[in-house]
Chain A
Amino acid sequence: MEHPAANYKTVPKKSSRSRLGTTWNHIKRDRQLLLLFLPCILFYAIFRYGPLYGLIIAFKDYSVFSGVLGSEWVGFEHFITFFTNHDFWMLFRNTLLLGLYTLIFGFPFPILLALLLNEVRNKWLKKSVQTFSYFPAFLSVVIISSMIIDFLSPNHGILNQMLAAFGFETKYFLVDPGWFRPIYVISEIWANMGYESIIYLAAIAGISPTLYEAAKVDGASRFHMIRHITLPGLFPTMLIMFILKTGSMIRVGYEKVLLLYNPMTYDVADVFSTYVYRKGLLESNYSYAAAVGLFEALVAMVMLLSANAVSKRLGGNGLW
């Protein structure tokens, strides 16, 4: 009887030298591709990973003229000050709610727009609707905000004039704390819907037309096709977009809040980023602002990781 092992060839033990050699060979082989990738690596190294070094100042009493390394270490002092600040929970609540509402209500609209645009057969109409809906994405936040202020003015705003025309009472929306979040979220949707729908339109374009043809032959209506072909085809894109948006949810931009809030709505409008702006830039507490920013980034990371894990657990795909 032959020894069972005799059938097996002995596997030569790979030396680290040869592994290095393989990597080198790969680099040599793909050098043109890698060269194309180089600007991307540099971008991330310089603009994304480089500044991470500056985060040290969150643990220091940073002085511009002593420099990052020369400033004194203070440990977690800034974090403790922040967490014990009596505004902390208000900021946390406002940031979370604004982010959450924008995510929940803002997420379906670009999809809906893409689905509807996809059904439009008239090319001219489709193009004009698309262009029109992109438009606000190219306007600066300052312009968007003054448009909102104008629309909602109790004296001469279009909305109030319409309310008055239909016999309703006019309302001063901007000083009503109850209206701040809806105004913020709706304007956010209005400004970004068109632009964000591009990615879904691209995904729809990637769905094989044969599926639609087959469904048509089987007598499927347009609605059936959306439900059974387009939506399932869009699902992976939707999932990825959702995870990405969850990660940036807590990062509510400060410009629009600063432009839209007033003493009546401070209570619901003040968010982490406006606080960082005030503390960091207006009061020159760079270290403190860095600590708040770092906390914000950590929360965002935790949310991104959890969204990814949940998505994987539910049987879908994650980002990684």
Chain B
Amino acid sequence: MMLKKRISIVLTATLLTSILAACSSGTDKGGSAALPPQEPGQYGDTGNLALPLVDEPTTITYMLPSNAKDLGPGKLVVQELEKRTGIKVNFQTYSPQTYQDKLKVIVASGKLPDIFTGLKPAELKKIGKQNGVVAINKYADQLPNFKKLYMEENDWVLKSYGDEAGNLYTWPIYNLNRKVNHGFMFRKDIFDELGIKEWTNTDEFYEALKKVKAAYPDSYPYASKSLANIFRDWAFGWGLGNTDQYPAYYDEKDGTWKYAAVQQAHKDMLDFMKKLYNEKLLDPEFLTDTQDSWTTKMTTDKSFVTFDWIGRLDLFYNQIKEQNPDYDLRYANPVGPTGNVRTLPEVSDFSVAVAKNKNTEVSLKLLDYLTSPSGSELMTIGVEGVNFEWGGDGFPVYPELKDLPLVDITVLEDRYAMWLEGAYLRPDHRSIYYRFSEKEQEAQDKIVKEDRFEPLDPILNFTDEETSKLAELQTSLQKSAEEFNAKYILDAGYGEAQWADFQTELSRSGVEELMSIYNAAQKDTRSPNRRP
């Protein structure tokens, strides 16, 4: 009896100590008690947010993917944030390759960092309902920038990105995208040498590949590193959608959601790919190619046309210019009957979330500061007079980096902790990220001038029940679709009969059920679909 009592006393004491320890960690009470208030406007337009954000020094953890080696207290952004807001931000970073795995493990442990990015929207909503992360809109009164941007100017955001009760668990990113990002690319130097004109439609694309093949019989003119994503990448040109929901897409003609993999337009696309494959115009390794082998092909006259991110135009050139100074990869016209490319949204969701804990309000205020013009400038341009000066062309110049051959956002990330993925919440378009290289400018002009954009699909808002039904159906349907697509192209024995079988098979696996969920959500008033 006595022993039991003693043990329980010891246990209680231990518990109390650990609770106390947990409470005191995080709030770093080093020396001075209160932070002095700052002059309004000292750091530019904060959108009516008063600095500093806290009364006493506070530390918060911010988890995001980054390749930068060290984002510790020595970095400009970390120092500036502490100076301006009073918050010491401890960036917990993991390499983008392993970030998702790390994040899942951390979420599974239940010990969330104060701010983190990268969960899927459905998972975030689930955790939000379990009180792991907070509904940001409930704190709107303390967040002037959030309120103005997402509750007044873009009130659809709350309804589309929130859950059915109107709670938004993710902090959106405003105005990040350039107009044009991904698309077809071709080796202009080779095309010019062979006297081939750049294609303007699908037939000319096919003819161009054939001519290149004739000149380089050992080559496979089109190479891909997208693996099974090639079907999504090409889909924009066939009018099959414009969200991350692919293969589900919204058909503007009749105002319903449809499943791309069973549409006639999709079959036309597969038939076209099959033709390219059979005539050895499409690299047979398109489903297994690694980034390295794709790079090798694209830089050694094994392949000449591909689909990728616009930055590749200059990246490949920089990689190969020593051996081949004439190398000239250019952004090409879209392929497919619509002749359109993907439209990039003005508001993006990177699932930046705030954990529910004692730092919640401080974390939210920090995000609000990052969303203000002042925070925007700090995170994407820098601190004027400290790390940059305005250059003659209206873009910032970084004197410390003048010896580097190329100053891009990865350099800024590494050197100053600027442009951290998940911490830039409103990129300033005066940043060097928006200063296009000549090739990139050509790409923007090509598409923007003729307005060759697929219309944006609405963002739907699913209930819990719908989300779990979707999770059950989506993965296996998409897997069978990818499997069929691959076989249809590679297997000579696949034709009309197999296409018909596949449609029945998908229908049996619940494709109509999936689409009825989408269409129900579309009709429902909870999704106003006011997306521009």
Contacts and interface: CB of A to CB of B under 8 A. Distances in A.
A86 B509 CA distance: 8
B482 A263 contact: yes
Contact of B486 (A86, A155, A264): A264
Interface string A170-182: 0010110000000
B130 A263 contact: no
B95 to A, nearest CB: 14
Contact of A266 (B220, B284, B482): B482
Among A64, A87, A263, residue most surrounded by chain B Cβ atoms (within 10 Å): A263
Interface in A135-160: 146, 149-150, 153-156
Interface stretch (A231-239, A246-254, A283-291): A283-291
A67 B110 contact: yes
Range of interface residues on B (Cβ < 8 Å): 35 or more
B290 interface: yes
Interface stretch (B203-211, B233-241, B338-346, B471-479): B471-479
Given A64-B110, A146-B290, A154-B284, A285 B471 contact: yes
Nearest to B297: A155
A63 interface: yes
A244 B482 CA distance: 38
A284 B126 contact: yes
Contact of A87 (B126, B476, B487): B476
A278 interface: yes
A97 B284 CA distance: 28
Interface string B425-445: 000000000000000000000
A172 B492 CA distance: 14
Contacts of B108: 64, 284, 286
A107 B141 CA distance: 68
A262 B288 contact: yes
Contacts of A270: 479
Nearest to B302: A155
Nearest to A177: B487
Given A63-B130, A65-B132, A175-B490, A266 B479 contact: yes
Interface of B is mostly: helix
B174 to A, nearest CB: 28
Contact of A153 (B104, B293, B475, B486): B293
B127 A266 contact: no
Nearest to B293: A153
Contacts of A154: 284-285
A174 B126 contact: no
Interface in B170-190: none
A65 B127 contact: yes
Contacts of A67: 110
Nearest to A270: B479
A267 interface: yes
A64 B110 CA distance: 5
A interface, by DSSP: helix, strand, loop or mixed? loop
Contacts of A263: 228, 287, 479, 482-483, 485-487
B284 A172 contact: yes
Nearest to B482: A263
Interface string A8-33: 00000000000000000000000000
Interface in A200-214: none
A267 B484 CA distance: 10
Contact of A64 (B127, B227, B490): B127
B245 to A, nearest CB: 16
A35 interface: no
B279 interface: no
A163 interface: no
Contact of B475 (A86, A175, A283): A283
A284 B287 contact: no
A153 B487 CA distance: 18
B440 to A, nearest CB: 31
A66 interface: yes
Contacts of A34: none
B483 A264 contact: yes
A284 B490 contact: no
A146 B287 CA distance: 14
Contacts of B110: 64-65, 67
A281 B487 contact: no
Contacts of B285: 153-155, 172
Nearest to A281: B104
Interface in B96-143: 101, 104, 107-110, 123, 126-127, 130-132
Contact of B490 (A264, A266, A278, A286): A264
Given A67-B110, A146-B290, A153-B285, A175 B126 contact: no
B474 to A, nearest CB: 9
Given A64-B130, A154-B285, A284 B123 contact: yes
Contacts of A174: 288
A256 to B, nearest CB: 14
Contact of A175 (B132, B287, B471): B287
A150 B296 CA distance: 13
Contacts of B490: 172, 175, 264
Nearest to A262: B287
Given A154-B284, A172-B490, 11 more contacts: A64-B108, A153-B293, A155-B283, A155-B302, A175-B288, A263-B485, A264-B483, A284-B107, A284-B123, A284-B126, A285-B471
24 contacts: A63-B130, A64-B109, A64-B110, A64-B130, A65-B127, A65-B131, A65-B132, A86-B509, A149-B288, A150-B293, A155-B284, A156-B293, A172-B490, A262-B228, A262-B288, A263-B228, A263-B479, A264-B486, A264-B490, A267-B483, A270-B479, A283-B475, A284-B123, A285-B471
Interface of B: 101, 104, 107-110, 123, 126-127, 130-132, 220, 227-228, 283-285, 287-288, 290, 293, 302, 471-472, 475-476, 479, 482-483, 485-487, 490, 509
The 9 A-B pairs with the shortest beta carbon distances in the complex, nearest first, are A263-B486, A263-B482, A65-B130, A64-B110, A264-B486, A65-B132, A63-B130, A262-B287, A266-B483
